[in-house]
Structure 1
Amino acid sequence: MTKAEPIRRRSALRVGAGLTAALATGCAADQQTATPAPAAHPASPRPAHPASPRPAHPASPRPAHPASPRPARAAPAPRRLPGLPAQIAHGPRTGDRVALTFHGQGDPAIANAVLKEAERADAHVTVLAVGTWLDAHPAVARRILDGGHDLGNHTLHHIDINTLSEADAYAEITGCADRIRRLTGSIGTWFRPSRTQTATPLVTRLAQRAGYPHLLSYDVDSLDFTSPGASAVVENVTSAVRPGSVVSLHFGYADTIAALPPLLDHLDRRGLTAVTCTELLT
């Protein structure tokens, strides 16, 4: 071995040690650089996703739909019926038809139950709706028409129309007519004055001015609005009904739901069919 070899060996050892230290330092530096990367991941844009526009979807126009229902078919418009008086209390006495008419007001669940009972017996009815009731439950207009029933006007607020001034009485008629037109495309088939069986000559003229050639009265009163019990409602109707009768009933009373099946059974046994006022009178 020459004298230079130990020197070269020591130099190589120093170089090797230097490389080892450098590699160790480089690895440590890599680890320090790579360590923050996983921590940065959760801070990526993913947490911002829930704040994206998706939660705004439920606030889309869908909730506004129930306030503007469109009927499956248009409500028939009123028309003059030759040979019939301005106020109609009943139809032809020679046929086998009667008309069940309902004052449209009260809990819509009861109204729906009454309509279901009628439809179960293949009966069609006429609903004279109060304007404020339609404001609160606009979907019932579509429900009535979809079931093949008549829809008419029973004033805006259901107050005693015969006692009102000319301007106020006309506003009651046209106010409800406007609601029905907005919901169905027409002012409704019939007008019935509120809180009276017979309208005064003034109210009759005002109804005709508003577009209703005939006012719809009735000849049989069920008195269901007095809540006398279902059996009494049935008796009140069946003791007085005959061919051509127009029967006054109401939504909003539980007695009416219970009375309807036996009432319709009674009509069927007598060979009488419950139809709309349009079907009865035209």
Structure 2
Amino acid sequence: MTTPAEDPGPPAPPRRAALLSGLALTAGTLSAGALTAGCSAPVAPGAARADPRSRPPGAPSASAAPSARTAPPAPAPRRFPAQPAQIAHGPRTHPPKVALTFHGQGDPALATSVLGEAEKAGVRVTVLAVGTWLDEHPGMARRILDGGHDLGNHTLRHLDINAMPQAEAAAEIRGCADRLKRLTGSIGTWFRPSRSPRASALVQRLARDAGYPHTLSYDVDSLDYTSPGAAAVTRNVLAAVRPGSVVSLHFGYADTVAALPDLLHELDGRGLRPVTTTELLS
């Protein structure tokens, strides 16, 4: 794994200082396990982590319920015959496109801010949602889809899926798929393993059995889950991004929200158009 950036970069520009300061109060904190795993697990400062096992399987929180309005079902997973079973990037061809992918977890206000910044720039992204996060915030599933974004599966509890026995790993994949199906009518377009950039051979097979022809990895790690500062998030992406890149980012971090306008501006300056992963591979 790439060593986390130590230089947090220059202070945020004045026009974003207020945004960054305010969002930092609600951004998730970083656990030592997340640093070593390359995948975040944000929680609000001072808040106790809820044990997802304390809630019956498939049951949303009492304070949140999915929208009652009807809407078209989410797209089902697609097979891309030209792509490997585990996808790390798309075609390195023209017109140059990239996919910004977000691990779906953390404060929904920050998630909504990320989606809003992307939509303001005419950009659509890919969100891989954690199942227990959907239990806590079921309205986010439809919010993501209504914005024109891809929505997929990032396991039920966001644990180290590659280290699990077969039955437990299968339950992690199917548990999140069940929640996506209940909320949107589809198991989602993509599956990404939790706590690892790549899925083991077993997890790939279990994902296929659950209905996902491909697992989605990435070739650019923003390291935003290390909270290096907005400027560093932008630098980390720009240092590695190429046509066809799949970029790993996260909901739940103020640095990500603050970095997004400049990142999108710089990608546009390089002629790289951010699209959903489905569009990148189509």
Shorter-chain TM-score tier: 0.7 to 0.9
| 2:215 paired with 1:215 | yes
Alignment of 1:83-162 (within 5 A): 83-95=82-94, 96-162=96-162
Quote the offset at 1:237 in angstroms.
0.1
Report Cα offsets for 1:235-277 as digits up to 9, x if no partner.
0001110100000000000000000000000011111111000
Residue of structure 1 equivalent to 2:235: 235
| Equivalent pair of 1:101/1:125 in contact (CA under 8 Å) | yes
Report Cα offsets for 1:152-181 as digits up to 9, x if no partner.
000000000000000000000000000000
The 1-side partners of 2:220 and 2:84 are apart by: 18
The 2-side partners of 1:239 and 1:89 are apart by: 17
| Equivalent pair of 1:250/1:256 in contact (CA under 8 Å) | yes
Residue of structure 2 equivalent to 1:28: none
Report Cα offsets for 1:195-250 as digits up to 9, x if no partner.
10111100000000000000000000000000000000000001110100000000
Name the amino acid aligned to 1:236: N
Higher relative contact order (CA 8 A, sep 6+): 2
Q: 2:241 aligns to what SS in structure 1?
A: coil
The 1-side partners of 2:201 and 2:69 are apart by: 35
Q: 1:182 aligns to what SS in structure 2?
A: helix
Residue of structure 2 equivalent to 1:78: 77
Residue of structure 1 equivalent to 2:257: 257
| Equivalent pair of 1:98/1:245 in contact (CA under 8 Å) | yes
Structure 2 residues without counterparts, runs of 5 or longer: 1-61
| Equivalent pair of 1:69/1:142 in contact (CA under 8 Å) | no
Superposition RMSD in Å: 1.4
The 2-side partners of 1:156 and 1:175 are apart by: 5
Q: 1:67 aligns to what SS in structure 2?
A: coil
Aligned residue pairs total 220
Q: 2:198 aligns to what SS in structure 1?
A: coil
Change (3 A) 1:158 1:64: closer
| Equivalent pair of 1:100/1:275 in contact (CA under 8 Å) | yes
Moved more, 126-135 or 72-81: 72-81
**Structure with larger Rg:** 1
| Equivalent pair of 2:64/2:137 in contact (CA under 8 Å) | no
| Equivalent pair of 1:72/1:145 in contact (CA under 8 Å) | no
- Runs of 4 or more, structure 1, over 2 Å off, are 63-73
| Equivalent pair of 1:71/1:183 in contact (CA under 8 Å) | no
Q: 1:194 aligns to what SS in structure 2?
A: coil
Change (3 A) 1:127 1:94: same
The 1-side partners of 2:256 and 2:70 are apart by: 26
Report Cα offsets for 1:128-152 as digits up to 9, x if no partner.
0000000000000010001000000
- Greater helix content: 1
Change (3 A) 1:175 1:258: same
Residue of structure 2 equivalent to 1:280: 280
The 1-side partners of 2:66 and 2:260 are apart by: 30
Query: Among the aligned pairs, what percent are the same residue?
Result: 72
The 2-side partners of 1:141 and 1:71 are apart by: 13
Quote the offset at 1:66 in angstroms.
3.4
| Equivalent pair of 2:66/2:183 in contact (CA under 8 Å) | no
Name the amino acid aligned to 1:94: T
Quote the offset at 1:74 in angstroms.
1.8
Quote the offset at 1:67 in angstroms.
3.4
| 2:194 paired with 1:194 | yes
Residue of structure 2 equivalent to 1:268: 268
